[in-house]
Amino acid sequence: MLNLDSVKKAQNNINRVVTKTPFAYASKLSQMIGNEIYLKKENLQLTGAFKLRGAFNKIATLSEDEKAKGVIAASAGNHAQGVAYSASYFGIPATIVMPEATPMTKISGVKSYGGEVVLAGNNYDEAYEYAIKLAKESNKTFIHPFADYDVMAGQGTIALEMLEEKPDLEVVIVPIGGGGLISGIAKALKSINKDIKVIGVTASGAPAMRNSFKSGIIQDSMSVKTIADGIAVRDTNEITFDIIKEYVDDIVEVDDEEIANAILYLMEQQKIVVEGAGAVGVAALMHHKIKFKSPKKIGVVVSGGNIDVTMLNLIIEKGLIKSHRKMKLIVTLIDKPGSLMKLTEILRDVRANIVSIGYDRTDVNLAFGDANVSIAVETKGLEHQEEIKRSLYQNGFRFVVE
């Protein structure tokens, strides 16, 4: 069963491999929120996420016969890398079933640790069903990503590390997908100090555990859709749900826009790269989803950093536009020599730096003799953008802001 002793035993098992990640004071975030906030940076873990803890502890407890037959797992990516690395450490074969839409960075990570990757299903739950079938057919041990007491005990070692460095913590905020991470952490924290508040955060596009927690009965989702792929779990698991009901104080949710804001904030202000699931705790604080009557000492688990570079680029681009640091325009001008030069001179005079430009005279909506220029410029805020628009208008250009 899951208890403080099993978490302490897990800590002894994983110490030979797992990195004791930084638990660092976040000064800017603390000032913004008005609380004393510390970030547990599991994005700096050996495989880029906390999942190594539970996977390694589970495999370490297998019998020699079980190890010889090999292991199989289902994962959206982080558990997969944890299992693959752990299996490689013990010299045993590992098969990982991943959803077909899994980012390449996570697939490559699994393969780099020697794991065999099988792509199946549209989400974790469908990959899980296929992996269970494969495990039975091949007589391999299935390493569950969250509904396993040895796995949860491994994740609970994060709580021990946080309290070692900050024994007077009052609140701990934890991402929730399947619930293994928060189950292990909450059980360990409450066993040491029952007054510590444990708050979970789900993505609004994967609401099963929050809905179940709020209603008191298991509620599954029809589908999941969120940029936080590490917590995109469709169904509520009974094992973790029972632990969460008993030891977690509240669960809040954040949407994809809020998660993206937190990813960008952490990159710019904390200088760390974090995936969607790892950013939800910070997103909940930034967007005031958690209210405190008085300032608290808060620990936030930043659970992973394995974000797909394509997604990261999209978040950065949208973030620049939302914060008025980038502006995209479609300008209609007369298709004759000198027109484009006049446009660029106007932008030069208002100190707008052009970063991309395209020229189209074939759009069927254009009048003959006109052309559309799609242009992106770096700007210095909303006031600067208004100045650019005024200047274009005063010089007779027709334009729309994308």
What is the layout of strands, in order, in the sheet containing 141-142?
Answer: 116-119, 94-98, 71-74, 141-142
Residue 385 pLDDT > 80: yes
CB atoms within 10 A of CB 50: 34
Q: Which of 318, 348, 374 is the last residue of a domain?
A: 318
State whether residue 329 is helix, strand or coil: strand
| Average pLDDT, integer, range 278-301 | 96
69 shares a domain with 14 = no
Instruction: Tell whether 180 and 281 lie within a shared domain.
Output: yes
Domain of residue 250, CATH code? 3.40.50.1100
Average pLDDT over residues 320-341: 94
Please provide the DSSP assignment of 249-313 as one string: -EEEEE-HHHHHHHHHHHHHHS-----HHHHHHHHHHHTT-S--SS--EEEEEE-B----HHHHH
* Claim to verify: residue 34 and residue 175 sit in the same structural domain: yes
* Residues of the domain holding 344: 324-401
**pLDDT above 80 for 103:** no
Of 74-83, 198-207, 217-226, 340-349, minimum mean pLDDT range: 74-83
Q: Is the pLDDT of residue 1 over 90?
A: no
Last residue of a domain, one of 113, 142, 171: 142
25 and 60 in a single domain? The answer is no
Which residue in 9, 40, 51, 140 is the catalytic one? 51
- Same domain for 219 and 91, yes or no, is no
Q: What CATH number is associated with residue 368?
A: 3.30.70.260
Answer yes or no: 51 catalytic: yes
339 and 214, same structural domain?
no
| Reported confidence tier of residue 37, pLDDT bands at 50, 70, 90 | very high
Same domain for 207 and 309, yes or no, is: yes
Are 179 and 88 in a shared domain?
no
pLDDT band at 379 (very low <50, low <70, confident <90, very high): very high
Strands 297-302 and 36-41: parallel
Neighbours of 196 (CB within 10 A): 22
d(CA 311, CA 315): 6
Q: Would the pLDDT of 105 be above 80?
A: no
Could you say which of 86, 212, 221, 303 is catalytic? 303
User: Has 303 been annotated as catalytic?
Assistant: yes
pLDDT at 123 over 80: no
Does 278 lie in the same domain as 182? yes
Return d(Cα 128, Cα 135) in angstroms, integer. Answer: 10
Whether residues 44 and 75 fall in one domain: no
Percent of the chain topping pLDDT 70: 100
Burial class from Cβ neighbours inside 10 Å (0-12, 13-18, 19+) for residue 167 reads exposed
The 10s digit of each residue's pLDDT in 140-164 is 999 999 999 999 999 999 999 999 9
Overall number of domains in the chain: 3
Name the pairing type of β-strands 398-401 and 171-175: unpaired
Report the predicted TM-score, pTM, of the whole model to 2 decimal places: 0.90
Average pLDDT over residues 303-332: 93
- Identify the domain boundary among 283, 318, 353: 318
